[in-house]
Amino acid sequence: MAAPRAGRQPQNDGYRSLSLSGHVGFDSLPDQLVNKSIKQGFCFNILCIGETGTGKSTLIDSLFNTSFDDPVSTHFQPNVRLRAQTYELQESNVRLKLTVVNTVGFGDQINKEDSYQPIVDYIDAQFEAYLQEELKIKRSLFSYHDTRIHACLYFISPTGHSLKTLDLLTMKSLDSKVNIIPIISKADSISKTELQMFKNKLMSELVSNDVQIYQFPTDDETVSQVNTIMNGHLPFAVVGSTEEVKIGNKMVKARQYPWGIVQVENENHCDFVKLREMLICTNMEDLREQTHARHYELYRRCRLEEMGFRDIGPENKPVSLQEAYEAKRHEFYLELQRKEEEMRQHFVQRVKEKETILKEAEQQIQTKFDHLMLMHQEEKLKLEKKKRALEDDMAMFNKKKANAELLQTQAFVSTPVVSLKRDKDRKNSGFM
Ligand code: GTP
Ligand code: MG
């Protein structure tokens, strides 16, 4: 068997690897990428979930070494809402567009059932906005302000007990949508031994309730060691402060108490530095990547499937987007026709029903009319009979009247002859 020629590697997965005999220049690609990214700037979005006054704003101020002037919330919010604020930060020549989203009124309502729904809706709304931009014919993803949440800092109150039901429910409903980093806030209010027990308890509760929290990646060998160690310290117990205290000849962020000083950046006092290192210095890019490749991908897949798009057809054959679109269009067309037919049938049925009702009403009116006509006829006949009787009576009366008049006339005519004769008789008798 002939040995492979110099500069040529054996065939590998359908393509060949070749070696170069001189400098070409594409080894500058990583630098080109870095330069381009620096020019474009970066974007990072943090969601802080925690009860009112758990130290969210103070921690974010401490993490980014600035004051974001986040307004304080009251405990009297009727429901949970989210407040997003975007800031432009710069460190050396790297620009960062940072969005901090805070829950307002979380855990303050008597009925906490719907406390996490506004958070789920907010995260979904950011995914949906990105998906809509992606689906546009004319996309501008390069300049698009990506508001998808990259990291969710979940603030657990330092009770020393166990997780509250609200915490478990909220984390459970979010773990497939966002990278959850649980933290114990105000950790200066819990003792060292209690803290370790509390951490163990929280972790075992998260595991037993199958809540997936973000694990610092261990597949990249440059960070695998530190990330493995840090995974063992979760959840980080942090202290935040915007106050600076002079320790030795240095001003440090700290909280002062009558019995001593808690230094925010002292690893013996709390895990603040660990959190900052892991969140910002080591894994910020991984959090961004996980958001896009895992959480957004899942959202996108579910949404597209909901819209009727599939990669695989009914016979387990791959289906192109075009085919899926045509099939869905046809399905909609058939559905539309079915609905149209249904509506037509419904309309015909309604018309028939109305016709029957009208016919019945007409019939009733006709019967009523016939009845009235009959009554009218009967009444008319009765009246006519009465009229005839009256006419007969009148005729009789007139006849009688005529007879009476005739008799009277005859009587009048015979009266003068009698009186003349009477006068003559009287004269003859000498009465005159
Ligand atoms: P809302 O936004 O109003 O819900 O509050 P928040 O969660 O942003 O809390 P914020 O940072 O305003 O802090 C509330 C109070 O807790 C302030 O008095 C802070 O000084 C105090 N606080 C913040 N961080 C810590 C901490 O680590 N330990 C202790 N003991 N107190 C803290
Ligand atoms: Mg706040």
Question: Which atom of ligand 1 is least distant from the CA of 270?
Answer: 27
The sheet with strand 236-237 has its strands ordered as 81-91, 94-104, 42-49, 151-156, 180-184, 236-237
Residue nearest to atom 21 of ligand 1 (CA): 55
57 lines ligand 1 (CB under 6 A): yes
Half-sphere exposure of 216 (CA within 13 A, CB side): 28
Cα–Cα distances in Å, from 78 out to 29, 40, 73, 170? 53, 41, 12, 18
Question: From CA 146, how far away is CA 129, in angstroms rounded?
Answer: 9
Largest CA distance in the chain: 205
Residue nearest to atom 4 of ligand 1 (CA): 52
Question: Which atom of ligand 1 is least distant from the CA of 51?
Answer: 4
Closest CA to 145 of 98, 92, 178, 177: 98
Residues, Cβ < 5 Å to ion ligand 2 = 56-57, 70
Closest CA to 230 of 188, 176, 286, 178: 286
**Does residue 74 contact residue 106 with C-beta atoms inside 8 Å?**
no
pTM, whole model, 2 decimals?
0.75
Question: From CA 368, how far away is CA 363, in angstroms rounded?
Answer: 9
How is residue 131 written in tokens? 């998906």
72 lines ligand 1 (CB under 6 A): yes
Question: Which atom of ligand 1 is least distant from the CA of 58?
Answer: 11
Residue nearest to atom 31 of ligand 1 (CA): 186
Q: What is the chain's pLDDT, residue by residue, as a tens digit (432 residues)?
A: 444 444 455 556 788 889 999 999 999 999 999 999 999 999 999 999 999 999 999 999 999 999 887 777 777 777 888 999 999 999 999 999 999 999 998 887 777 777 899 999 999 999 999 999 999 989 888 889 999 999 999 999 998 888 888 999 999 999 999 999 999 999 999 998 899 999 999 999 999 999 999 999 999 888 899 999 999 998 999 999 999 999 888 899 999 999 899 999 999 999 999 999 999 999 999 999 999 999 999 999 999 888 877 777 777 777 777 777 787 788 889 999 999 999 999 999 999 999 999 999 999 999 999 999 999 999 999 999 999 999 999 999 999 999 999 999 998 887 665 555 666 666 666 544
Question: From CA 384, how far away is CA 368, in angstroms rounded?
Answer: 24
50 lines ligand 1 (CB under 6 A): yes
170 lines ligand 1 (CB under 6 A): no
How is residue 235 written in tokens? 């959840």
**Distance of CA 329 from the midpoint of ligand 2 (Å):** 49
Note the ligand closest to the C-alpha atom of 80: 1
Question: Which atom of ligand 1 is least distant from the CA of 50?
Answer: 7
Question: From CA 251, how far away is CA 348, in angstroms rounded?
Answer: 85
**Distance of CA 405 from the midpoint of ligand 1 (Å):** 132
Please list, in sequence order, all residues whose beta carbon lies within 8 angstroms of the beta carbon of residue 11, skipping any fewer than 6 positions away: none
Question: From CA 37, how far away is CA 406, in angstroms rounded?
Answer: 143
How is residue 366 written in tokens? 């006709």
Question: From CA 243, how far away is CA 316, in angstroms rounded?
Answer: 63
